[in-house]
Structure 1
Amino acid sequence: MKEGNEKVPIPKYFQGKSLLITGGSGFLGKVLIEKLLRSCPDISIIYILLRPKKGKTLQERVEAITSIPLFDLLKSTYPENVQKIVPIYGDVTELGLGLSNESRKILIESVNIIYHAAASVRFDDSLKDAIILNTRGTREVALLAREMKHLELLVHISTTYCHTDKQIIEEKIYPTEIDWKQSINIAESLDSHTLNIFASHYMNSFPNSYTFTKRLSEDLLTELCSGRIPTVIIRPSIVISTADEPMPGWIDNFNGPVGLLCACGKGILRSLYTDPDLIADYIPVDMAVKGIIGVTWLDALEKNQDNSKQLQISVFNASNNNVNSITYRELMAIGDKVTKYYPFHNTLWLPQMTITKFYILHYIRIIFFHVIPALFIDGLLKMAGKKFRLLKIQRKIFIANMALHYFITQTWTFKNDKALRALKMLLPSDYKDFYLDPKDHEPYLYFINATMGVKKYLFKEDPKDLDIGKKHYFRMLIINIIFNILWYLGLFYVFVFKLNILDCFKDILHYIYTYFCNL
């Protein structure tokens, strides 16, 4: 890490190194690969664990990954670096990672740094599948790492939400009472249906299989790696679209807050069940990646200076805690403003989101603003001879909202002192490419870029063509006003003329008047 008495800049540290990345085809994995090849251009090689998919060979999958807009800046600056991505046939769900003897030997002989980012982030995964991929897969990576002859660091990408049984999550290892070995044995021996029967009891206080298996993964790394190989665990919070690099607003999935933004912007999601005053902890994916690279460098620096720390496990929390906090109320206000001035094309209704922490009120809103309109529109589509699926979409949104319920109705404090300290340790020459400060990013501007990214990369709309969206938004506004007038007139008619509410009200007033007059 040093030349003489000087710290080595981050690109210099990565110079000539061979990396192995699992989960390289995932959202965070792709951003990590692009950033490493662009900002550390002298990296020797990046092996990524892949398997053939949808009839594509490994090389075709690499070409598909690098053909997306995310890699355009890399291709214009260091086009030759794309060739440094080398696919290795493997599967994290298989024993031994599904590696051939030849591939395993290559990795053992050459890899210097491992980034283990492969994981299922689906909250509704069966416990069996989640344990096999997230926990046993991590075990197989750790066992491979222990064989590597030139390994300098194993970096495990975890999540801040794997310790939600604690109100304050510090940057340290938390042991669990559940045995990770036993969990793997159970997952290997039982079928999914049988395991799911007692899954909630087995997971105890954990809200889903994702957080549970990521917690077990940290436990097994402590047992398998501590005192044996240099290891870093970094826990990002909710990872969302890019803030700056390589372009603002890049996204490739509907997960998390982006999915809510899309559903709200399309006029499908009208009610959100959460406490509006709770903090929404998220981190743009490019900031998370800068943090991952930065703590890799920092950990190597500190362990180079103090040999007693060489084989200790370091933990970093990559979160927005006490940096650029924003509540769900503020987030929804921003969302309403953004979707008004940068509306999506072909919205189904006027975007109007309401937040409540009262489940009964939320449930009533779901019935009136989600289910009934979906049934009405599906009925019209059916009469027109077209496919009707809005009710099905509303069902998926409801399930997704309830899956997020545990996380958006509570708040935690994720201590990030060590992660923030890594920023202060950067050399001036590294500031341009690796310095990050969430305070520099104004939330409103960020979500404008996020919305434009959703329009371009997910909905395939031209972000420059705002007139289409604005005209449609105005039409939806007029329809919404007319509908509300008719709705309230209808209620007035029913209550006044059909239910004789006025007569009932007069009788009540007369009774009260008579009662007080007779006192």
Structure 2
Amino acid sequence: MAVREWFAGQEILLTGVTSDIGNVVLEKLLRSCPGVKAIHLIVRSRNNQTNEDRIKNIFASPGFERLRQQCPDAISRVKTIEGNLVYDDLGVIEDQLNILKNVSVVIHAGGPHDALFEFCSELPSLKAASAVMNLFKQRRKTSNDESFPNIPLSILRVPAVGPALKEPMPGFLNVFKGATALMVGAGYALGDDNLPASILPVDIAANTLIASAWGKATSTEKENVTIYNSPALNCTWRRLIESGRKASKKFPYPSFGMRGMTANPWLHWFVVLFFEWLPSVLCDTILQVLGTKPRIVDDHLRIRTALQALDPVLSRSWPTDQKSLTELNNRMSPEDQEEFFVTPEIDLETYVLCAAAGVKKLCPNNNAKIVNMFKFVLCAALAVALFFMVFI
């Protein structure tokens, strides 16, 4: 049975919908699986916004523009439930717990998972559950690990998530993370650039979560847990950075960030301090003198935070066994392989170019003119200083 056909009539519980992967999973399910009966979202109220307000903001975001055009009534299949993944029964009140008794598929796209897995074990109609886990945050587990409940579960292990390859649009991103900052040359990174670039496009992650749930439910295998390792970009970090250098000629990221990577912590510290942080501080100081709100340092700190979160991925290699993923792909029909692509060929140059364009479109940066002008002033001042040192 095809993936789309199997999902027809199913009730799905989706957690982590406010994450980058969760956003794309929701959009993909609503657009590609029109027969889904209902999608229940566990979302907690936050920052003076109700859970329904947060979902409305998601539907109004650029990532759902294609869905709004093609399936304007899709939101009617979405049911929002107040809850919290760290609590027993996911913090859901008793009346709404009864609604979830009909859930047959659980997709966990982000957040704590222990309470969720226990909740899954109590769902009488559960056919399959799929979950994403960060390799550098979760200890390795095997299918025989006793900490997993006795449920039909598939797990996708990912080191880092990058912009979309194709859907909902090439280069799409809704969170500026370390992988994207590295690709567009927003800052200098600490790591081994000879290691494989362990970045998984967000739409491949979403497709794998959806397809693996189908695969688990329709499989004849008796194993409770199936582990999937994310496919690599088939390049090193060095080559990825070089591709980003080419893309930046068309879509430059406006910051004082130095493009590149080093395994030497002292060199990394020196470059970040004197070529990124110090120019940012000087630029903000001038802005303050001119009566303009300083903002370059804030952007620098945001980029540094994003890249630091990527440090564990850049310093070691990660599992690359693709046997389970290949078997899943081979079980899918040609139409499903096209619609729910889990092992596509990736043209690196095109992917990085679309990522740079996506950053420019979806994460507009108002610092471009200021940064470029300040760079020109610094270069001019340096040239004048060298001239006096040499000829005078």
Q: TM-score, normalised by structure 1?
A: 0.69
Pick closer, same or farther for the CA change 1:46–1:236 going to 2, 3 Å.
same
Q: Does 1:327 align with 2:249?
A: no
- 1:109-155 Cα deviation digits (max 9, x unpaired): x1001112231xxxxxxxxxxxxxx2xxx232122222211111122
Q: Does 1:147 align with 2:59?
A: no
Equivalent residue, structure 1, for 2:362: 457
Q: Does 1:285 align with 2:285?
A: no
Greater RCO, 1 or 2 (C-alpha within 8 Å, sep 6+)? 2
Pick closer, same or farther for the CA change 1:174–1:328 going to 2, 3 Å.
farther
Q: Tell me how far 1:478 sits from its aligned partner.
A: 5.2
Q: 1:21 aligns with which of 14, 31, 34?
A: 14
Distance 2:155 2:388 in 1: 59
Contact 1:48–1:87 (CA under 8 A) maintained in structure 2 = yes
Secondary structure, in 3 states, of the residue corresponding to 2:274? helix
**Residue type of the partner of 2:64?**
F
Secondary structure, in 3 states, of the residue corresponding to 1:158? strand
Distance 1:24 1:403 in 2: 21
Q: 2:288 aligns with which of 382, 397, 404?
A: 382
Q: 2:39 aligns with which of 46, 49, 64?
A: 46
- 1:38-63 Cα deviation digits (max 9, x unpaired): 11110000000012234333333322
Equivalent residue, structure 2, for 1:182: none
**Residue type of the partner of 1:290?**
N
Pick closer, same or farther for the CA change 1:157–1:354 going to 2, 3 Å.
closer
Q: Tell me how far 1:104 sits from its aligned partner.
A: 0.9
Structure 2's unaligned 5+ residue stretches are none
Equivalent residue, structure 2, for 1:172: 142
Q: 2:227 aligns with which of 315, 320, 324?
A: 315
**Residue type of the partner of 2:358?**
G
Pick closer, same or farther for the CA change 1:38–1:399 going to 2, 3 Å.
closer
Distance 2:152 2:272 in 1: 50
Distance 2:386 2:192 in 1: 28
Q: Tell me how far 1:455 sits from its aligned partner.
A: 1.2
Q: Does 1:160 align with 2:135?
A: yes
Distance 1:55 1:288 in 2: 31
Q: Does 1:423 align with 2:329?
A: yes
Pick closer, same or farther for the CA change 1:71–1:15 going to 2, 3 Å.
same
Q: Tell me how far 1:489 sits from its aligned partner.
A: 4.1
Distance 2:228 2:144 in 1: 13
Q: 1:253 aligns with which of 157, 175, 179?
A: 175
Q: Tell me how far 1:9 sits from its aligned partner.
A: 0.7
Q: 2:215 aligns with which of 298, 310, 330?
A: 298
Structure 1's unaligned 5+ residue stretches are 1-7, 120-133, 176-218, 462-467, 498-519
- 1:460-504 Cα deviation digits (max 9, x unpaired): 78xxxxxx97x99986775565344235446658xxx9xxxxxxx
Equivalent residue, structure 1, for 2:28: 35
Equivalent residue, structure 1, for 2:105: 113
More helix by share: 1
Contact 1:237–1:319 (CA under 8 A) maintained in structure 2 = no
Secondary structure, in 3 states, of the residue corresponding to 1:87? strand
Q: Tell me how far 1:296 sits from its aligned partner.
A: 1.6
Distance 2:350 2:59 in 1: 28
Equivalent residue, structure 1, for 2:245: 336
Secondary structure, in 3 states, of the residue corresponding to 1:414? coil
Q: Does 1:59 align with 2:43?
A: no
Q: Tell me how far 1:102 sits from its aligned partner.
A: 0.8
Pick closer, same or farther for the CA change 1:486–1:329 going to 2, 3 Å.
farther
**Residue type of the partner of 1:486?**
V
Superposition pairs of residues 191-202 of structure 1, within 5 angstroms: none
Q: Tell me how far 1:236 sits from its aligned partner.
A: 2.7
Superposition pairs of residues 332-411 of structure 1, within 5 angstroms: 332-344=241-253, 347-349=254-256, 352-391=258-297, 393-395=299-301, 397-398=303-304, 400-411=306-317
Q: 1:78 aligns with which of 71, 74, 77?
A: 71
Q: 1:432 aligns with which of 335, 338, 342?
A: 338
Q: Tell me how far 1:289 sits from its aligned partner.
A: 1.2
**Number of matched residues?**
392
Distance 1:286 1:74 in 2: 15
Contact 1:336–1:352 (CA under 8 A) maintained in structure 2 = no
Greater Rg by CA: 1
Equivalent residue, structure 2, for 1:188: none
Q: Tell me how far 1:281 sits from its aligned partner.
A: 0.8
Distance 1:398 1:74 in 2: 34
**Residue type of the partner of 1:69?**
P
Distance 1:398 1:73 in 2: 32
RMSD: 2.9
Pick closer, same or farther for the CA change 1:356–1:51 going to 2, 3 Å.
closer
Q: TM-score, normalised by structure 2?
A: 0.89
**Residue type of the partner of 1:296?**
A
Equivalent residue, structure 1, for 2:380: 482
Superposition pairs of residues 219-298 of structure 1, within 5 angstroms: 220=147, 222=148, 225-226=149-150, 229-261=151-183, 264-265=185-186, 269=187, 271-298=188-215
Secondary structure, in 3 states, of the residue corresponding to 2:73? helix
Equivalent residue, structure 1, for 2:61: 68
Equivalent residue, structure 2, for 1:444: 349
